[in-house]
Amino acid sequence: MPNAAILDFESKRVELRFKRLANRLFAFMDWPELAHVGLSGLSVFIDSVGQDPTDPDSRAWAGLENEFVEWLLLDYVDADVGATAASMFLASPDNDLADWEVASLQQWADSAPRLYEIVERLSDSRLLLRDVMSNDVYLVVSPQMSASALKWSLYVARLLRVDDVYTVGAMAALLPRRMLGYLWRMLGHVYRGMKAQGYSGDIDDFLKGSALNLMKIMRAFSVTDDGDDEDDDDDAGASRSDTSLACLEVQMAGADANAALEAFSALAPVRPAGDGYVWVRLPRKDDFAGVAMYGRSDIAYIKPVDGGVRIYCTGRGVPASVADALRRLSRRASVLGGGRRPQGSRQEAAKRVRKPEGHEAKEALEVIDGLLSELSRNHYATWVDRPMPVLRGETPRTATRMHAGRRLVEELLKDIEYHEDLKRRAGLPWVDVEAMCRGPLAEALSSETAPADKHEAAVRAVEALLDEKMRLDGYSSEQVYHAAKMWNDFAAMARPRIVHAPIWAAAAEYASATAQKEPVTQASIASKYQVSVSSVSQRSRQISRALRQRARQ
């Protein structure tokens, strides 16, 4: 039956039950007593977002209207009522709900937009999502899931329970993974600042109250789905990239060209390749995770021909840079060779830019892609044992000795896997970093050695408590690692007597947070760990002073 439609019964069941739950809430909001709640909520929404969700002429009207309704029902707390519509509905004695409806709507009332990463795309309608903050994993069923979702992408969404599974609410957006650290640190920074000023809610309460601001960020950085399927073959992706290849012809006299190329080949970014040379633009700055930041636009293929050279590259500024270098070397070579230009003469090599022929493009791209693969492989071959600023001078291998280090190294691995997967989908040369980088660390990431003695066991107990408490306050993996490393460095150097783990954990968090300019107070941290303010003050000064003295030595 080749023409038979295939029905996804699970997705259909979720869709129907979701509509049933939503309709119950809509009907409740239609009560005359709640009319003022809807009007005041609409006013707050327009003031915050800057758009009217009821305006059908708005370009994003449909999505904005759905997001407004979701926010109004699940997040908005009217000043006169003091509760959300979903909470009021559940508290109403007039509703007649099945057990699964009560459980689902209770989760809806408590839910907030949170940060997830895509662990695996199971199908077009199913994703495995991991909560970045709690580390919980959810199987999510949603017919409108983006087919372009990449593994380890950032997914900002509200998960809504429907019977025994989860689906995604209207307030959702797919973001590039590079936004994870920015969003996480920004939200956590604001939350910790509010706690230091007396805010008593937890991170979920904060996220519910920040839903409108989170929506703005989601719109600014969300990935637009242009309909490209993830399974497009690589040849098609490569052919799309070929169109940007350009050929810059530089005309020079034979002897002059040979001398210029000889001098050019001695430059640091130049190496022989194919029938000529390649010029590599070094990355302007190192990536946070140690990603190989090379692309086709960073490499030029220089081929000698009769009457001059040809420069092939996809980067706009690269051919001009190479041509200028050749032109300078050409003039210098003429002078060094004893030739004299006529006085007042300003002869320069003639240049012409054109689109290369098919055979030229194939040859140039083979050379460029070959070098691109080589550069990336060489880069990742040393990644495991390369000291990194984000690891405070440790290598990924040595950082895995700490629990927080293993977690941060895992995040770095996800960053480089995501980056290489992007290149794979674009039809560009990519590296199997899972084999090159994750493989050598597999055992270290999955196991933990037993403590050597009671002191080391106590040190680890402090680190575990520090990790748990900092994550509850929305600290990023990098920030938790920074605090854990400070504590481990201090403990190894001073070997303090550890009687009460919460005191040392609170002191380490405060010392690390103040070093990173976080808006925390000794009182707020002491309250979290249930220790005295004086103990936090004394021990944190002890940690900071000892580490400063060691740094000066």
Residue-wise pLDDT tens digits, 17-39: 999 999 999 888 888 888 888 89
**Average pLDDT value for residue range 362-367:** 92
The reply to whether 194 and 321 lie within a common domain is no
Q: Which of 465, 462, 470 is nearest to 487 (CA)?
A: 462
Same domain assignment for residues 9 and 151: yes
Return the SS3 of 473: coil
Q: Is 218 found in the same domain as 195?
A: yes
Q: Which helix (H) or strand (E) holds 348?
A: none
DSSP assignment of 234-257? HHHHHHHHHTT-EEEEEE--HHHH
Quick check: helix, strand or coil at residue 287?
A: coil
For residues 192 and 269, membership in a common domain is answered with no
91 with 24, same domain?
yes
Same domain, 270 and 137: no
Q: Is 256 found in the same domain as 225?
A: no
pLDDT of residue 460: 94
Same domain assignment for residues 399 and 467: no
pLDDT at residue 236 tops 60:
no
Number of structural domains the chain divides into: 4
Strand 165-175 with 126-131, pairing: unpaired
Of 179, 200, 230, the one marking the end of a domain is 230
Which of 190, 210, 230 lies at the terminal end of a domain, its last residue? Answer: 230
Show which of 188, 214, 230 is a domain's final residue: 230
Q: Provide the residue range defining the domain that includes 533.
A: 454-552
Of 48-57, 87-96, 152-161, where does the model show the most confidence? 152-161
Q: What pLDDT does 147 receive?
A: 62
pLDDT at 338: 41
The rounded distance, in Å, linking the Cα atoms of 166 and 161 is: 4
- 426 and 340 co-located in one domain: no
Tell whether 538 and 464 lie within a shared domain: yes
Say if residue 417 is in the same domain as residue 496: no
CATH number at residue 504: 1.10.472.10
Residue 49 shares a structural domain with residue 119: yes
Q: How large a percentage of the chain has pLDDT more than 70? A: 87
Neighbour order of strands in the sheet with 246-251: 270-273, 276-280, 299-305, 308-313, 246-251, 350-354
| Alpha-carbon span 550 to 33, nearest angstrom | 67
> How does residue 5 score in pLDDT terms, banded at 50, 70 and 90?
very low
